[in-house]
A = this chain, B = another copy of it.
Amino acid sequence: MSAAMLLVQKYGGTSVGTIERITRVAERCLAAQRAGHDVAVVVSAMSGETNRLLKLVGQIQDDPNDREVDVIVSTGEQVSVGLVALAIRKLGGKARSFLGHQVKILTDSAFARARIVSIDADPVRAAFRDGAIAVIAGFQGVDEGGNITTLGRGGSDTTGVAIAAALGADACEIYTDVDGVYTTDPNLVPTARKIDRISYEEMLELASLGAKVLQIRSVELAMKFNVPIHVRSSFSEVEGTWVVPEEPQMEHVVVSGVTVARDEAKITVSDIPDTAGVAARLFAPLADGGVVVDMIIQNASTDGTTDLTFTVPSGDRKRAVEILVRDCGELVGTRGERIVTDDDICKVSVVGVGMRSHAGVATRMFQLLAAESINIQLISTSEIKISVVVGKKYAELALRTLHDGFNLDRPPAERTAL
């Protein structure tokens, strides 16, 4: 890391939660600049600030998908960039803050969940030429009409990666309150180990399966533009986890991580005709209603009727049932008599690019769970992950069992045996 590089550093809300922490962020940016690098820093709102603003909004209306709500919540990051720029100057450095409309982070007009269309990196490059650190507001953008937009929760990660892509940065460092991505949640499994290098694909699966370290869209974007991400702690100097394009030796590690998600609910519709078009008939109105269906399992038919089970976010369970009763009464019963729901579940998954070339991962997973008498309710697989739904009370036990059963408590080199 001695050659001059172009670095993007992204700091989350806890990293800028107080003036003292902001000063530490400023020190870190300056240290990187003094090491000869060009530095752009992307910051979130001070921790608690976005919630404070949404609470004000909540006193007027419930819907957060709104032009005016974006005007309000984007102020959190605006305050942060100003403070970080002041702190850098206070330490003798040069800094300049940029809001979404000043770096022209052009987005579509989907308020509260806008997607980035393009970025004009010229003002940032001008700041670099001027010897300044560019301090850029995360989470926010501007649409064609000049309206302020926001990218949705965790959107600052996406801003960081997008800025890194636009600048052709050597790396996007994501500073957070943990020191990297772990093989599983260390709060639940004490033997969890920090992962040194992981592929975008694996990180995507881990992120979407419940690991909260990185926002999914930021990983997608990094993969698309080949931006190396370095997830690390803002409270220490140790190397964290590099999220990078897949490397040949990664395949030697069969399972990279184990995750659990507890915020899903299971819905089963029984005794529906086993004919073409039934699934589409059920899922179309759910999709129209904005309910995201995750796992879908259909039992083998025996008597011309079948059962269909699927999972949805717990918060959408009630609405999903209402939609089905309203739009598919002929299938689910006019009072939903053929629907059974269950919130008492969790989804446990193992992830690893090595699965592609290693048979037997699923079998081993089922054996490990069976040895602990954990009953599997649903199974779903993809190329690089296997997910099972089990009773919620087994969450920690299943996680520990799979984690250590796949040798994730040992260093990668000792793990390849399986």
Contacts of A78 in B (CB 8 A): 71-72, 74-75, 78
A91-109 vs B, Cβ < 8 Å mask (1 yes, 0 no)? 0000111010110000000
**Contacting residues, chain B, for A295 (C-beta < 8 A):** none
**Interface residue A275 (Cβ < 8 Å from any Cβ of B):** no
Q: A75-B79, A78-B71 are in contact. Are A19 and B59 (CB under 8 A)?
A: yes
Quick check: is A56 within 8 A (CB to CB) of the other chain? Answer: yes
Q: Write the chain B residue with the least CB distance to A52.
A: B79
A66 interface residue (CB < 8 Å to B): yes
Flag whether A146 is at the interface (Cβ < 8 A): yes
Cβ–Cβ < 8 Å partners of A57 in chain B = 82-83, 86
Known interface pairs A19-B59, A60-B19, A83-B57. Does A71 touch B90 (Cβ–Cβ under 8 Å)?
Answer: no
- When the two chains form their complex, are residues B71 and A97 in contact, meaning their CB atoms are under 8 A apart? yes
Given contacts A60-B19, A75-B75, A78-B78, contact A69 B86 (CB under 8 A): yes
Residue A85 CB within 8 A of the other chain: yes
Would B101 and A83 count as touching, CB distance under 8 A? no
Determine the chain B residues whose CB is within 8 A of the CB of A75 once the complex forms: 75, 78-79
Copy number in the complex reads 2
Cβ–Cβ contact B56 & A68, under 8 A:
no
> CA–CA, A53 to B19, complex, Å?
12
Q: Could you say which residues of chain B place their CB within 8 Å of the CB of A102? A: 146
B68 touching A72 by the CB < 8 A rule? no
A67 proximity list for chain B (CB < 8 A)? 96-97
Q: Mark A40-74, 1 if CB is under 8 A from B, else 0.
A: 00000000000001001101110000111101101
Name the one of B61, B69, B79, B146 contacting A56, with C-beta atoms under 8 angstroms: B79
Scoring A71, A99, A101 by chain B CB atoms within 10 A of each residue's CB, the highest score goes to A71
**Whole-angstrom distance from the CB of A78 to the nearest CB of chain B?**
5
Please measure, in the bound complex, the distance between the C-alpha atom of A85 and the C-alpha atom of B56, giving whole angstroms: 13
Chain B neighbourhood of A19, CB < 8 A: 56, 59-60
Q: Give min CB distance, A21 to chain B, whole Å.
A: 12
Report the Cα distance A69→B89, complex, angstroms: 12
A94, chain B: closest CB distance, angstroms: 12
Docked complex Cα distance between A359 and B147 (Å): 59
Could you tell me the distance between the alpha carbons of A148 and B53 in the complex, rounded to whole angstroms?
21
A70 (CB) vs chain B CBs: closest residue:
B82
Could you say which of B22, B68, B87 contacts A82, with CB atoms under 8 Å apart?
B68
A81 at interface, CB cutoff 8 A: yes
Contacts of A87 in B (CB 8 A): 60
Say yes or no: A60 contacts B83, CB within 8 Å.
yes
Contacts of A59 in B (CB 8 A): 19
Minimum C-beta distance from A215 to chain B (A): 24
Q: Measured between alpha carbons, how far is A19 from B58 in the docked complex, in Å?
A: 10
Q: Can you list 11 A-B contacts with CB-CB less than 8 angstroms, sorted by A residue number?
A: A19-B56, A53-B79, A60-B86, A60-B90, A67-B97, A68-B82, A68-B85, A68-B86, A68-B89, A99-B148, A102-B146
